[in-house]
Amino acid sequence: MYGLIGGLLSAALAVPPAPATDALDVDLLADSPDADVPDLGHRPDDASTQVVGGAPSAPGSWPSTVAVLFGGQPGCTGTLVAPNVVITAAHCVTPEAPNAVRTGSVDARQGGQVLQIANATFHPTYDGYEGVDIAVLQLASPSNAPTTTIATDCVGSQSLYDGGPAMIVGFGSTNPAGTQYPDVLYEASSSIRDADCSQDVLSGYQTTCESSLRPTGELVAGGNGVDSCYGDSGGPLYVPGTDGAWYLAGVTSRGFAAQDCGSGGVYVRPDTYIGWVESIVGPLPRPVCGGPDVQTDTPEPPPVEEPDDTQKPDVTGDLTISSDLMVLRKNRLGALELTAEGAVGALEWEIVTGPATGHAHIDQGVLYFSPELRFTGDDVVVVSVRDELGNEAQQDVAIAVMGSGCDQSGGAPFGLSLLAMLGVLARRGRS
Protein backbone atom coordinates (compact mmCIF):
# COMPACT_ATOMS: atom_id res chain seq x y z
CA MET A 1 0.00 0.00 0.00
CA TYR A 2 1.23 3.43 -0.80
CA GLY A 3 0.05 5.79 1.96
CA LEU A 4 2.63 8.39 2.94
CA ILE A 5 2.49 7.09 6.52
CA GLY A 6 3.76 3.69 5.43
CA GLY A 7 6.67 5.22 3.55
CA LEU A 8 7.74 7.44 6.45
CA LEU A 9 7.51 4.59 8.93
CA SER A 10 9.49 2.27 6.68
CA ALA A 11 12.25 4.82 6.41
CA ALA A 12 12.28 5.38 10.16
CA LEU A 13 12.10 1.69 11.08
CA ALA A 14 14.32 0.36 8.26
CA VAL A 15 11.50 -1.75 6.77
CA PRO A 16 12.02 -2.30 3.02
CA PRO A 17 9.42 -0.24 1.13
CA ALA A 18 7.05 -1.80 -1.38
CA PRO A 19 7.15 -0.68 -5.02
CA ALA A 20 4.67 1.69 -6.53
CA THR A 21 1.68 1.32 -8.76
CA ASP A 22 1.91 2.97 -12.10
CA ALA A 23 4.62 2.71 -14.60
CA LEU A 24 5.78 1.91 -18.08
CA ASP A 25 5.57 -1.75 -18.95
CA VAL A 26 8.91 -3.52 -18.88
CA ASP A 27 7.53 -6.06 -21.33
CA LEU A 28 6.18 -3.41 -23.67
CA LEU A 29 9.25 -1.18 -23.78
CA ALA A 30 12.73 -1.85 -25.05
CA ASP A 31 15.64 -2.04 -22.64
CA SER A 32 17.16 1.07 -24.17
CA PRO A 33 16.75 4.27 -22.12
CA ASP A 34 15.62 5.89 -25.37
CA ALA A 35 12.64 3.55 -25.70
CA ASP A 36 9.50 5.33 -26.87
CA VAL A 37 6.91 6.22 -24.22
CA PRO A 38 3.31 7.20 -24.99
CA ASP A 39 3.54 10.98 -25.16
CA LEU A 40 -0.09 12.13 -24.88
CA GLY A 41 1.15 15.68 -24.50
CA HIS A 42 2.49 15.13 -20.97
CA ARG A 43 5.75 13.24 -21.23
CA PRO A 44 8.59 14.88 -19.27
CA ASP A 45 11.60 15.96 -21.29
CA ASP A 46 14.00 14.85 -18.60
CA ALA A 47 13.45 11.19 -17.73
CA SER A 48 15.79 11.50 -14.76
CA THR A 49 13.29 13.83 -13.08
CA GLN A 50 11.44 11.68 -10.87
CA VAL A 51 5.76 10.34 -9.23
CA VAL A 52 8.91 8.06 -9.69
CA GLY A 53 10.16 8.64 -13.20
CA GLY A 54 7.88 11.64 -13.75
CA ALA A 55 7.90 15.40 -13.58
CA PRO A 56 6.07 18.17 -11.68
CA SER A 57 2.62 18.94 -13.05
CA ALA A 58 1.97 22.43 -14.37
CA PRO A 59 -0.50 24.59 -12.40
CA GLY A 60 -4.03 23.83 -13.52
CA SER A 61 -3.23 20.37 -14.86
CA TRP A 62 -5.08 17.33 -13.52
CA PRO A 63 -7.48 19.55 -11.53
CA SER A 64 -9.54 16.60 -10.29
CA THR A 65 -6.54 15.17 -8.39
CA VAL A 66 -6.71 16.03 -4.69
CA ALA A 67 -4.39 15.76 -1.70
CA VAL A 68 -5.90 13.70 1.13
CA LEU A 69 -5.05 15.29 4.49
CA PHE A 70 -4.62 13.80 7.95
CA GLY A 71 -4.79 16.55 10.54
CA GLY A 72 -3.74 19.02 7.86
CA GLN A 73 -0.80 16.91 6.66
CA PRO A 74 -0.83 15.26 3.20
CA GLY A 75 -0.77 11.47 3.38
CA CYS A 76 -2.63 10.08 0.37
CA THR A 77 -4.03 11.16 -3.00
CA GLY A 78 -7.57 11.00 -4.38
CA THR A 79 -9.73 11.89 -7.37
CA LEU A 80 -12.75 14.19 -7.45
CA VAL A 81 -15.53 12.38 -9.33
CA ALA A 82 -18.33 14.72 -8.25
CA PRO A 83 -18.20 18.15 -6.56
CA ASN A 84 -18.52 16.55 -3.12
CA VAL A 85 -17.21 13.02 -3.79
CA VAL A 86 -13.59 11.82 -3.76
CA ILE A 87 -12.45 8.29 -4.56
CA THR A 88 -9.31 7.06 -2.81
CA ALA A 89 -7.84 3.81 -1.45
CA ALA A 90 -9.43 1.88 1.40
CA HIS A 91 -6.09 1.64 3.18
CA CYS A 92 -6.04 5.46 3.31
CA VAL A 93 -9.21 5.37 5.44
CA THR A 94 -8.39 2.63 7.94
CA PRO A 95 -7.16 2.41 10.64
CA GLU A 96 -7.22 6.22 10.90
CA ALA A 97 -9.47 8.22 8.61
CA PRO A 98 -8.41 11.49 6.94
CA ASN A 99 -10.16 14.68 7.99
CA ALA A 100 -9.95 16.88 4.87
CA VAL A 101 -8.85 17.16 1.24
CA ARG A 102 -7.18 19.96 -0.71
CA THR A 103 -8.68 20.44 -4.17
CA GLY A 104 -7.72 22.65 -7.10
CA SER A 105 -4.01 22.94 -6.33
CA VAL A 106 -0.80 21.26 -7.50
CA ASP A 107 0.67 21.96 -4.03
CA ALA A 108 -0.49 19.64 -1.24
CA ARG A 109 0.14 22.29 1.40
CA GLN A 110 -1.21 25.50 -0.10
CA GLY A 111 -3.66 26.93 -2.61
CA GLY A 112 -7.03 25.68 -3.79
CA GLN A 113 -9.71 24.73 -1.30
CA VAL A 114 -9.40 22.73 1.92
CA LEU A 115 -12.70 20.88 2.41
CA GLN A 116 -13.65 18.84 5.44
CA ILE A 117 -14.65 15.19 5.04
CA ALA A 118 -18.15 14.46 6.31
CA ASN A 119 -18.05 10.70 5.83
CA ALA A 120 -15.49 8.08 4.79
CA THR A 121 -16.61 4.63 3.59
CA PHE A 122 -14.37 1.82 2.42
CA HIS A 123 -15.47 -1.22 0.44
CA PRO A 124 -17.06 -3.88 2.65
CA THR A 125 -14.71 -6.62 1.41
CA TYR A 126 -11.56 -4.77 2.51
CA ASP A 127 -10.11 -6.08 5.77
CA GLY A 128 -6.92 -4.03 6.01
CA TYR A 129 -4.94 -6.62 4.09
CA GLU A 130 -7.08 -8.11 1.32
CA GLY A 131 -10.24 -7.18 -0.54
CA VAL A 132 -11.24 -4.28 -2.77
CA ASP A 133 -8.87 -1.41 -1.86
CA ILE A 134 -11.22 1.48 -2.65
CA ALA A 135 -12.98 4.08 -0.51
CA VAL A 136 -15.39 6.99 -0.93
CA LEU A 137 -14.93 10.35 0.81
CA GLN A 138 -18.04 12.52 1.04
CA LEU A 139 -17.13 16.18 1.46
CA ALA A 140 -18.98 18.52 3.82
CA SER A 141 -19.17 21.14 1.06
CA PRO A 142 -18.70 20.94 -2.73
CA SER A 143 -15.42 21.74 -4.45
CA ASN A 144 -15.29 24.24 -7.30
CA ALA A 145 -12.58 22.20 -9.06
CA PRO A 146 -13.40 20.21 -12.21
CA THR A 147 -14.27 16.54 -11.79
CA THR A 148 -13.25 13.41 -13.70
CA THR A 149 -15.59 10.76 -15.09
CA ILE A 150 -14.91 7.10 -14.32
CA ALA A 151 -13.86 5.05 -17.36
CA THR A 152 -17.03 2.99 -17.74
CA ASP A 153 -19.04 1.87 -20.77
CA CYS A 154 -17.47 2.77 -24.13
CA VAL A 155 -14.37 4.34 -22.58
CA GLY A 156 -13.64 1.20 -20.59
CA SER A 157 -14.02 -1.07 -23.61
CA GLN A 158 -11.89 1.20 -25.83
CA SER A 159 -9.13 2.28 -23.42
CA LEU A 160 -8.56 -0.52 -20.89
CA TYR A 161 -6.33 -2.94 -22.77
CA ASP A 162 -2.81 -4.30 -22.42
CA GLY A 163 -0.36 -1.72 -23.76
CA GLY A 164 -2.89 1.11 -23.66
CA PRO A 165 -1.53 4.56 -22.71
CA ALA A 166 -2.10 5.90 -19.21
CA MET A 167 -0.93 8.66 -16.87
CA ILE A 168 0.17 8.30 -13.25
CA VAL A 169 -0.61 11.35 -11.12
CA GLY A 170 -0.07 11.83 -7.39
CA PHE A 171 1.37 13.72 -4.44
CA GLY A 172 3.66 10.86 -3.40
CA SER A 173 7.35 10.21 -3.13
CA THR A 174 9.54 10.92 -6.15
CA ASN A 175 12.45 8.55 -5.46
CA PRO A 176 12.40 4.73 -5.61
CA ALA A 177 13.21 4.34 -1.90
CA GLY A 178 10.12 6.36 -1.02
CA THR A 179 11.93 8.93 1.13
CA GLN A 180 11.59 12.19 -0.85
CA TYR A 181 8.28 14.09 -0.71
CA PRO A 182 8.20 17.37 -2.64
CA ASP A 183 4.53 18.18 -1.70
CA VAL A 184 3.81 19.08 -5.32
CA LEU A 185 1.81 17.07 -7.84
CA TYR A 186 3.84 14.81 -10.13
CA GLU A 187 2.84 13.03 -13.33
CA ALA A 188 4.38 10.34 -15.50
CA SER A 189 3.49 8.78 -18.84
CA SER A 190 2.79 5.09 -18.47
CA SER A 191 0.92 2.16 -19.97
CA ILE A 192 -1.52 -0.52 -18.87
CA ARG A 193 0.41 -3.71 -18.46
CA ASP A 194 -2.25 -6.27 -17.51
CA ALA A 195 -5.82 -4.98 -17.82
CA ASP A 196 -7.35 -7.90 -15.93
CA CYS A 197 -4.56 -8.52 -13.40
CA SER A 198 -4.34 -12.11 -14.60
CA GLN A 199 -0.56 -12.49 -14.21
CA ASP A 200 0.95 -13.56 -10.90
CA VAL A 201 4.51 -12.79 -12.04
CA LEU A 202 5.74 -10.13 -14.46
CA SER A 203 9.40 -9.46 -15.28
CA GLY A 204 10.47 -11.59 -12.35
CA TYR A 205 8.34 -9.80 -9.73
CA GLN A 206 5.21 -11.02 -7.97
CA THR A 207 2.41 -8.70 -9.04
CA THR A 208 0.33 -9.14 -5.83
CA CYS A 209 -2.86 -9.37 -7.94
CA GLU A 210 -5.77 -10.88 -6.01
CA SER A 211 -7.13 -13.88 -7.87
CA SER A 212 -10.55 -13.45 -6.26
CA LEU A 213 -10.97 -10.06 -7.96
CA ARG A 214 -10.18 -11.25 -11.49
CA PRO A 215 -10.90 -10.45 -14.27
CA THR A 216 -12.27 -6.92 -13.81
CA GLY A 217 -11.43 -5.91 -10.24
CA GLU A 218 -7.85 -4.71 -10.71
CA LEU A 219 -5.26 -3.89 -13.36
CA VAL A 220 -1.49 -3.70 -13.53
CA ALA A 221 0.46 -0.68 -14.79
CA GLY A 222 4.03 0.46 -14.57
CA GLY A 223 7.62 -0.63 -14.57
CA ASN A 224 10.95 0.28 -16.12
CA GLY A 225 11.54 2.91 -13.44
CA VAL A 226 8.28 4.81 -13.89
CA ASP A 227 5.90 4.22 -11.01
CA SER A 228 3.72 5.63 -8.28
CA CYS A 229 5.05 5.40 -4.74
CA TYR A 230 4.23 6.11 -1.08
CA GLY A 231 1.80 9.02 -0.77
CA ASP A 232 0.30 8.28 -4.22
CA SER A 233 -2.08 5.81 -2.56
CA GLY A 234 -5.66 6.33 -3.70
CA GLY A 235 -4.54 8.57 -6.55
CA PRO A 236 -5.59 8.31 -10.17
CA LEU A 237 -4.44 6.32 -13.13
CA TYR A 238 -5.92 8.28 -16.03
CA VAL A 239 -6.58 6.97 -19.54
CA PRO A 240 -7.49 8.99 -22.63
CA GLY A 241 -10.85 8.61 -24.32
CA THR A 242 -11.47 8.94 -28.03
CA ASP A 243 -13.07 12.31 -27.27
CA GLY A 244 -9.72 13.69 -26.03
CA ALA A 245 -10.80 13.76 -22.36
CA TRP A 246 -9.05 11.91 -19.55
CA TYR A 247 -10.95 9.33 -17.51
CA LEU A 248 -10.30 7.63 -14.17
CA ALA A 249 -9.28 4.03 -14.90
CA GLY A 250 -7.39 3.02 -11.75
CA VAL A 251 -7.05 3.79 -8.03
CA THR A 252 -3.48 3.42 -6.77
CA SER A 253 -3.31 0.49 -4.35
CA ARG A 254 0.03 -1.28 -3.98
CA GLY A 255 3.27 -2.24 -5.62
CA PHE A 256 4.89 -5.41 -6.85
CA ALA A 257 6.82 -7.56 -4.39
CA ALA A 258 10.07 -5.66 -4.93
CA GLN A 259 12.49 -3.63 -2.86
CA ASP A 260 11.78 -0.16 -4.24
CA CYS A 261 9.19 1.76 -6.21
CA GLY A 262 9.71 1.47 -9.95
CA SER A 263 8.84 -2.09 -10.96
CA GLY A 264 5.09 -1.50 -11.36
CA GLY A 265 1.99 -2.10 -9.33
CA VAL A 266 -1.69 -2.84 -8.91
CA TYR A 267 -4.66 -0.47 -9.31
CA VAL A 268 -8.29 -1.03 -8.38
CA ARG A 269 -10.64 -0.56 -11.35
CA PRO A 270 -13.36 1.91 -10.25
CA ASP A 271 -15.53 1.08 -13.26
CA THR A 272 -16.23 -2.31 -11.70
CA TYR A 273 -17.29 -0.80 -8.37
CA ILE A 274 -19.16 2.28 -9.57
CA GLY A 275 -22.45 0.67 -8.56
CA TRP A 276 -21.22 0.39 -4.97
CA VAL A 277 -20.03 4.01 -5.04
CA GLU A 278 -23.38 5.19 -6.37
CA SER A 279 -25.21 3.27 -3.65
CA ILE A 280 -23.53 5.67 -1.21
CA VAL A 281 -23.43 8.99 -3.08
CA GLY A 282 -26.09 8.68 -5.77
CA PRO A 283 -25.70 8.68 -9.58
CA LEU A 284 -22.36 9.77 -11.04
CA PRO A 285 -21.66 11.09 -14.55
CA ARG A 286 -21.02 8.46 -17.23
CA PRO A 287 -19.17 8.77 -20.54
CA VAL A 288 -21.27 9.86 -23.51
CA CYS A 289 -21.27 6.91 -25.90
CA GLY A 290 -22.67 7.02 -29.40
CA GLY A 291 -24.19 10.50 -29.28
CA PRO A 292 -27.51 11.59 -27.78
CA ASP A 293 -30.18 9.05 -27.03
CA VAL A 294 -32.78 8.58 -29.75
CA GLN A 295 -36.36 8.49 -28.57
CA THR A 296 -38.41 5.69 -30.15
CA ASP A 297 -42.04 4.75 -29.86
CA THR A 298 -42.45 1.60 -27.83
CA PRO A 299 -45.68 -0.19 -27.12
CA GLU A 300 -47.10 0.02 -23.66
CA PRO A 301 -46.20 -3.05 -21.63
CA PRO A 302 -49.09 -5.35 -20.86
CA PRO A 303 -50.69 -4.78 -17.46
CA VAL A 304 -49.33 -6.87 -14.65
CA GLU A 305 -51.98 -9.04 -13.12
CA GLU A 306 -52.33 -8.74 -9.38
CA PRO A 307 -51.64 -12.05 -7.67
CA ASP A 308 -54.59 -13.88 -6.22
CA ASP A 309 -54.34 -13.58 -2.45
CA THR A 310 -56.14 -16.89 -2.08
CA GLN A 311 -53.16 -18.61 -3.75
CA LYS A 312 -50.56 -17.24 -1.34
CA PRO A 313 -48.98 -19.71 1.07
CA ASP A 314 -49.99 -19.47 4.67
CA VAL A 315 -48.00 -16.98 6.75
CA THR A 316 -47.23 -18.69 10.01
CA GLY A 317 -45.76 -15.69 11.80
CA ASP A 318 -43.16 -17.95 13.47
CA LEU A 319 -40.16 -16.33 11.74
CA THR A 320 -37.88 -14.37 14.11
CA ILE A 321 -34.59 -12.52 13.59
CA SER A 322 -31.94 -13.51 16.11
CA SER A 323 -29.26 -10.88 15.24
CA ASP A 324 -29.75 -7.69 17.22
CA LEU A 325 -26.39 -6.14 18.16
CA MET A 326 -23.29 -4.93 16.28
CA VAL A 327 -20.23 -3.55 18.10
CA LEU A 328 -17.41 -1.81 16.22
CA ARG A 329 -14.70 0.80 16.62
CA LYS A 330 -14.84 4.31 15.21
CA ASN A 331 -13.67 4.76 11.61
CA ARG A 332 -14.03 1.01 11.11
CA LEU A 333 -16.46 -0.98 9.02
CA GLY A 334 -18.82 -3.15 11.06
CA ALA A 335 -20.29 -6.42 9.81
CA LEU A 336 -22.99 -8.62 11.35
CA GLU A 337 -24.26 -11.89 9.91
CA LEU A 338 -28.04 -11.79 9.97
CA THR A 339 -29.75 -14.98 11.11
CA ALA A 340 -33.40 -15.95 11.38
CA GLU A 341 -35.15 -18.78 13.17
CA GLY A 342 -38.13 -20.62 11.75
CA ALA A 343 -37.28 -19.71 8.16
CA VAL A 344 -38.15 -21.88 5.18
CA GLY A 345 -35.94 -21.70 2.08
CA ALA A 346 -34.04 -18.66 0.83
CA LEU A 347 -34.27 -15.37 2.72
CA GLU A 348 -34.74 -11.84 1.39
CA TRP A 349 -33.27 -9.21 3.70
CA GLU A 350 -34.05 -5.50 3.57
CA ILE A 351 -33.23 -2.37 5.54
CA VAL A 352 -36.50 -0.85 6.72
CA THR A 353 -34.97 2.17 8.46
CA GLY A 354 -31.37 3.21 7.97
CA PRO A 355 -29.06 4.57 10.66
CA ALA A 356 -29.18 8.19 11.79
CA THR A 357 -25.42 8.37 11.24
CA GLY A 358 -23.20 6.64 8.72
CA HIS A 359 -24.22 4.21 5.99
CA ALA A 360 -25.66 0.69 6.11
CA HIS A 361 -26.43 -1.95 3.51
CA ILE A 362 -27.06 -5.70 3.36
CA ASP A 363 -25.11 -8.01 1.08
CA GLN A 364 -25.74 -11.78 1.04
CA GLY A 365 -27.22 -11.83 4.50
CA VAL A 366 -24.53 -9.66 6.11
CA LEU A 367 -25.36 -6.21 7.50
CA TYR A 368 -22.53 -3.72 6.91
CA PHE A 369 -22.34 -0.41 8.77
CA SER A 370 -19.82 2.37 8.14
CA PRO A 371 -19.98 5.11 10.81
CA GLU A 372 -19.50 8.77 10.11
CA LEU A 373 -15.98 10.08 10.48
CA ARG A 374 -14.81 9.87 14.12
CA PHE A 375 -18.36 9.13 15.34
CA THR A 376 -18.75 7.21 18.61
CA GLY A 377 -22.01 6.32 20.27
CA ASP A 378 -25.18 4.37 19.57
CA ASP A 379 -27.38 3.99 16.51
CA VAL A 380 -30.08 1.64 15.24
CA VAL A 381 -30.78 -0.08 11.93
CA VAL A 382 -34.18 -1.71 11.41
CA VAL A 383 -34.03 -4.81 9.20
CA SER A 384 -36.69 -7.15 7.87
CA VAL A 385 -36.62 -10.64 6.38
CA ARG A 386 -38.98 -12.71 4.26
CA ASP A 387 -38.71 -16.44 3.54
CA GLU A 388 -40.01 -18.49 0.62
CA LEU A 389 -43.35 -19.16 2.31
CA GLY A 390 -43.98 -15.46 2.80
CA ASN A 391 -43.23 -15.45 6.50
CA GLU A 392 -41.89 -12.06 7.57
CA ALA A 393 -40.11 -10.61 10.57
CA GLN A 394 -38.60 -7.28 11.59
CA GLN A 395 -35.89 -6.45 14.11
CA ASP A 396 -34.05 -3.44 15.53
CA VAL A 397 -30.29 -4.00 15.31
CA ALA A 398 -28.46 -1.89 17.89
CA ILE A 399 -25.18 -0.32 16.74
CA ALA A 400 -22.48 0.51 19.30
CA VAL A 401 -19.50 2.48 17.95
CA MET A 402 -16.66 2.46 20.46
CA GLY A 403 -13.78 4.91 20.67
CA SER A 404 -10.19 3.70 20.43
CA GLY A 405 -7.96 3.43 23.47
CA CYS A 406 -6.00 6.46 22.25
CA ASP A 407 -8.71 8.77 20.93
CA GLN A 408 -7.22 11.32 18.55
CA SER A 409 -9.23 14.12 17.05
CA GLY A 410 -6.80 15.20 14.37
CA GLY A 411 -5.82 11.94 12.75
CA ALA A 412 -2.41 13.30 11.69
CA PRO A 413 0.12 10.73 10.46
CA PHE A 414 2.58 11.48 13.25
CA GLY A 415 -0.19 11.13 15.85
CA LEU A 416 -0.95 7.49 15.07
CA SER A 417 -1.15 5.12 17.98
CA LEU A 418 1.23 2.17 18.19
CA LEU A 419 -1.52 -0.17 17.04
CA ALA A 420 -2.18 2.02 14.01
CA MET A 421 1.54 2.06 13.18
CA LEU A 422 1.70 -1.71 13.38
CA GLY A 423 -1.39 -1.92 11.20
CA VAL A 424 0.26 0.19 8.52
CA LEU A 425 3.38 -1.93 8.58
CA ALA A 426 1.30 -5.10 8.39
CA ARG A 427 -0.46 -3.80 5.29
CA ARG A 428 2.88 -2.95 3.71
CA GLY A 429 3.94 -6.55 4.14
CA ARG A 430 1.43 -7.44 1.45
CA SER A 431 3.67 -5.76 -1.13
| Residues marked as catalytic | 91, 133, 233
Rounded (5°) CA angle 375-379-385: 135
Task: State phi, psi for 47 to the nearest 5 degrees.
Answer: -65, -15
Distance CA 275, CA 150 (A): 11
Determine the Cα–Cα distance for residues 125 and 316; give it in Å rounded to an integer: 36
Contact 285, 79 (CB under 8 A): no
Please give the Cα distance from 82 to 142 (Å, whole number): 8
Q: List 150's β-bridge partners, or say none.
A: 248
DSSP state of 356: S
* Whole-angstrom distance, CA of residue 188 vs CA of residue 168: 5
Helix (H, G, I), strand (E, B), or coil: what is residue 140? coil
Q: Where are the beta strands (DSSP E) in 126-204?
A: 135-139, 165-170, 186-194, 201-202
b/e per residue, 26-42, with b = 16+ CB within 10 A?
bbbbeeeeeeebbeeeb
H-run or E-run covering 132:
none
